[in-house]
């Protein structure tokens, strides 16, 4: 059997789709869906953590190469939709619930009016999807605030850890990158 040289990498055991850049106007409250392709279905067997750490901003809009010493650390909220199983005409569903209906998964986006999935109230859903939420305070207290034409930056990472394995709890960091915080006039008023 022929072998490759140790320094001739030909197989990547851990694929990386690249880092994300989230551009957020200061004071926005947003929700970002993340599909965790390495997990078949989001269940109670995982712990999730998403954080943003303030970067060492120079006030000129350059993406920093380091974190701000003693900078702000923000833990983001993670919303995990509730699996309600097979759709039922007599079921009671609230926004964020997802169901299986006609061999597909659907998530309820607004108040349920009794209509089945695939209507305007429901969206197609992946059962390995979570939602990361930012709130209006992200960036508040950062040493260098964004100004018109000059953003400030922080660093983002999502960590997923198994909590069901007593032998070896695996940890993944599937999404990470840079948060670009843009100036907002309404944030100043």
Model pLDDT, residue 183: 96
Domain boundaries along the sequence of the chain: 22-78+131-188, 82-124
Give the separation between CA 170 and CA 189, rounded to whole angstroms: 46
Reported as a single tens digit per residue, the pLDDT across 15-42 is 666 788 999 999 999 999 999 988 888 8
> Nearest to residue 24, comparing CAs of 170, 182, 184, 149?
182
Report the predicted TM-score, pTM, of the whole model to 2 decimal places. 0.85
Model pLDDT, residue 163: 85
Reported as a single tens digit per residue, the pLDDT across 127-145 is 999 999 999 999 999 999 9
The phi and psi torsions of 187 (rounded to 5 degrees) equal -70, -25
CATH of domain 82-124: 2.10.10
Please give the average pLDDT of every successive group of 10 residues along the chain, which has 189 residues: 63 69 94 89 87 97 96 96 90 90 90 78 90 95 96 96 84 93 91
- Cβ atoms of 173 and 159 within 8 Å: the answer is yes
């Amino acid at each position: 059997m022929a072998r490759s040289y140790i320094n001739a990498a030909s197989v990547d055991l851990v694929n990386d789709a690249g880092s994300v850049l989230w551009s957020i106007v200061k004071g926005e409250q947003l929700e970002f869906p993340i599909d965790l392709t390495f997990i078949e279905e989001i269940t109670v067997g995982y712990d999730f953590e998403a954080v943003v750490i303030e970067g060492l901003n120079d006030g000129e809009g350059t993406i920093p190469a380091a974190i701000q010493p003693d900078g702000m650390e923000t833990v983001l909220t993670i919303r995990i939709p509730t699996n309600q199983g097979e759709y039922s005409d007599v079921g009671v569903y609230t926004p964020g619930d997802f169901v299986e209906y006609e061999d597909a998964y659907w998530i309820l986006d607004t108040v349920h009016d009794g209509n089945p999935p695939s209507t305007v109230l429901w969206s197609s859903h992946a059962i390995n999807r979570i939602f990361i939420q930012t709130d209006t305070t992200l960036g508040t207290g950062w040493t260098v605030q964004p100004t018109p034409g000059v953003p400030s930056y922080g660093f983002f990472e999502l960590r997923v850890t198994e909590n069901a394995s007593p032998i070896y709890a695996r940890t993944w960091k599937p999404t990470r990158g840079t948060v670009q915080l843009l100036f907002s006039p309404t944030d100043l008023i």
